[in-house]
Structure 1
């Protein structure tokens, strides 16, 4: 298959979501961390990418 880009994602949501709901950044990962029940471990993702989110200016 072909690879998807951040621009492809932005184009796909442009007509579906209000502007304030658009993601500010798209990060591609090979796979999401999951627990034994198969749920995505959001806390692991937050910890792994905390530097990205802390460096953004707060509004």
Structure 2
């Protein structure tokens, strides 16, 4: 399975990194939350399920 950590600031969505192991993806997700320095940002951890970036959200946090 593939997992991605994504950051969306409302103007653009960026894939921080892709992982094949959930534990590594969770580590990256938490580090992104701890390193956050701006408001109005959504950080997502998703599992890729198919072609064309189809995904299932695992968790997300929105900071305002």
Looking at secondary structure, tell me which structure has more helix per residue: 1
Return the TM-score normalized by structure 1.
0.28
Which one has a bigger Cα radius of gyration? Answer: 1
Return the TM-score normalized by structure 2.
0.27
Which protein, 1 or 2, shows the higher relative CO under an 8 Å CA cutoff with sep ≥ 6? Answer: 2
Looking at secondary structure, tell me which structure has more strand per residue: 2
